[in-house]
Structure 1
Amino acid sequence: MRNMASSASSRGIAAIVGVGPNLGLSIARKFAHEGYTVAILARDLGRLSRFAEEIAREEMAQVFAIRIDCSDSKSVREAFEGVLSLGYVEVLVYNAAHHPPFSSAPTSFLHLPLQSFEKSLDVSSLGAFLCAQHVLPGMVERGKGTILFTGCSASLNGIAGYSELCCGKFALRALSQCLAREFQPQGVHVAHVIIDGVIGPPRGTSTTASSSQRGSVNMDPDAVAQSYWQLHVQDKNAWTQEMDLRSSSSVFY
């Protein structure tokens, strides 16, 4: 974290937890583009620092890289002490997850290690619980704020071989509904975003392959990030609690 004494935007901080090279990075870039001071959080501080420098340079924004391990309550507490030292958090996007990609072979329940199951629950749901507890007091005090949780198709349906992912994401969805019922009357918009597809790199990047090369249609993270922004700026008289996103090329079964 650099320039901790620098003045943060009067709009508050947008804290993006779980920033990788696709969706998390696009969401952070979008909020920076809209004038927010952005805190990006993930475990790999080296990569995160490169992301922060990239966004700050492209968007002429203040971006702070902060390491976090969402499965460790001490790490979450220390990370959010850093975030809150920048100012109050107006937006929290929880995008963290611990699971094998759908492209990998499923794991039979009988061979699923306890540690792996616990880790997925910790990252998908416990981490979200901890992060939300750190930012909600400030949001309630000001009567405004946005919390957006990233879910997936496994948030809705059990999938054979993906017990750890489904259970963690089911719990995250329940948490989002509970927080919405409790805190939306106090001015805090809580929404759950179901990503029903695979997030790829942004369109036009050198790593973006054609649909035929990929074997499936990846979702553009910049387009998805735009939906997150729209959730944040929604009129409070018509707030969305859950949004289901998929590519127009997706096949329904």
Structure 2
Amino acid sequence: MAETALIVGAGAGLSASLARLCAKEGMKIALAARNTDKLGALAAETGAQTKACDVADKDSVAALFSWLDGTMGTPDLVVFNPSKRARGPLVDLDPDEVLAATTVTCHGAFLVAQQAAKRMLAAGHGTILFTGASAGVKGYPQSAPFAMGKFGLRGLAQSMARELHPQNIHVGHFVIDGGIRTESDTREAPGENKLLDPEAIAETYLQFHRQPRSSWAWEIELRPWKEAF
């Protein structure tokens, strides 16, 4: 039976590369995003189904998984990509914008993970992957909300891994340490390799999903070979 994958926060870049790779591997795919209009071409290319979802809204997340129950069933793989930023000096930050940012990046991940875990525990298996950032291990100046959200995301993933790995639910957190290349990127010269290739990241996600249980990881850091760390 074909595996199923749910990509939350789908769009261009990493999510699109993941969807294409999963389709190539014969998986059935669901793509979730606040705005599904932008997903038409990708859905047509990968044979994916789409569903609107606001990860900041618990009812919207619950509706996403109820929809999955009636269409594709329990996903074998769930990938959480959404994040939201609020930048500026600490004393100038709008508290409401900070709350919105951390709600999407961290609490939204919890909502998705909780719904996924309930179903995967009943099924007896599954993989939940979180897209993190270097901001989740080191807080940068004038970027407190992003650090708060990504630190929280990493803590969620670590706690889940310790709780759920013994129950055959593989949990992974990916520290993406560097910029991800886009189709029309001007941040690097041809062959410079300063940016991460989204297709290469997707390959690592798939490898993580397929790790033997005797050697499960819970976290991997990915960076271009020229990135300082």
Q: Distance in 1 between matches of 2:81 and 2:55?
A: 11
Q: Distance in 2 between matches of 1:154 and 1:48?
A: 28
Fraction of identical pairs, as percent: 34
> Would the alpha carbon gap of residues 184 and 49 (structure 1) be closer, same or farther in structure 2, given more than 3 Å must change?
same
1:249 maps onto 2:229 in alignment = no
Q: Deviation of residue 84 (structure 1)?
A: 2.3
Query: Cα deviations across residues 25-81 of structure 1 (Å, max 9, x unaligned)?
Result: 11111111111110011111100223211223xxxxxx1111111111121111221
Secondary structure, counterpart of 1:27 in structure 2: helix
1:233 maps onto 2:210 in alignment = yes
Query: Cα deviations across residues 141-162 of structure 1 (Å, max 9, x unaligned)?
Result: 2221100001000000111100
Query: Cα deviations across residues 165-197 of structure 1 (Å, max 9, x unaligned)?
Result: 000011110100111111100101001000000
Q: Deviation of residue 216 (structure 1)?
A: 8.1
- Residues 154 and 166 of structure 1 are in contact (CA less than 8 Å); yes or no, is this contact kept in structure 2? yes
Task: Give the aligned partner of residue 54 of structure 2.
Answer: 69
1:81 maps onto 2:58 in alignment = no
Secondary structure, counterpart of 1:98 in structure 2: coil
- Residues 193 and 224 of structure 2 are in contact (CA less than 8 Å); yes or no, is this contact kept in structure 1? no
Q: Deviation of residue 209 (structure 1)?
A: 4.2
Q: Distance in 2 between matches of 1:124 and 1:210?
A: 25
- Residues 14 and 36 of structure 1 are in contact (CA less than 8 Å); yes or no, is this contact kept in structure 2? yes
Q: Distance in 1 between matches of 2:68 and 2:199?
A: 24
Secondary structure, counterpart of 1:89 in structure 2: coil
1:144 maps onto 2:94 in alignment = no
Moved more, 120-129 or 134-143: 134-143
Task: Give the aligned partner of residue 98 of structure 1.
Answer: 84
Equivalent residue letter for 1:14:
A
1:162 maps onto 2:143 in alignment = yes
Secondary structure, counterpart of 1:212 in structure 2: coil
- Which residue of the other structure, out of 37, 40, 43, is the alignment partner of 2:34? 43
- Residues 99 and 120 of structure 1 are in contact (CA less than 8 Å); yes or no, is this contact kept in structure 2? yes
How many residues were matched structurally?
228
1:17 maps onto 2:2 in alignment = no
Q: Distance in 2 between matches of 1:238 and 1:187?
A: 13
Moved more, 151-160 or 137-146: 137-146
TM-score, structure 1 normalization: 0.85
Gap runs ≥5 in structure 1? 1-9, 57-62, 101-105
CA RMSD of aligned residues (A): 1.9
- Residues 14 and 38 of structure 1 are in contact (CA less than 8 Å); yes or no, is this contact kept in structure 2? yes
Moved more, 175-184 or 46-55: 46-55
Q: Distance in 2 between matches of 1:85 and 1:129?
A: 22
- Residues 74 and 123 of structure 2 are in contact (CA less than 8 Å); yes or no, is this contact kept in structure 1? no
- Which residue of the other structure, out of 111, 116, 120, is the alignment partner of 2:97? 116
Task: Give the aligned partner of residue 219 of structure 1.
Answer: 196
- Residues 42 and 68 of structure 1 are in contact (CA less than 8 Å); yes or no, is this contact kept in structure 2? yes
Secondary structure, counterpart of 1:66 in structure 2: strand
Query: Cα deviations across residues 203-248 of structure 1 (Å, max 9, x unaligned)?
Result: xx5x2447238x9822110000000000000001000110000011
Q: Distance in 2 between matches of 1:95 and 1:210?
A: 22
Q: Distance in 2 between matches of 1:196 and 1:149?
A: 14
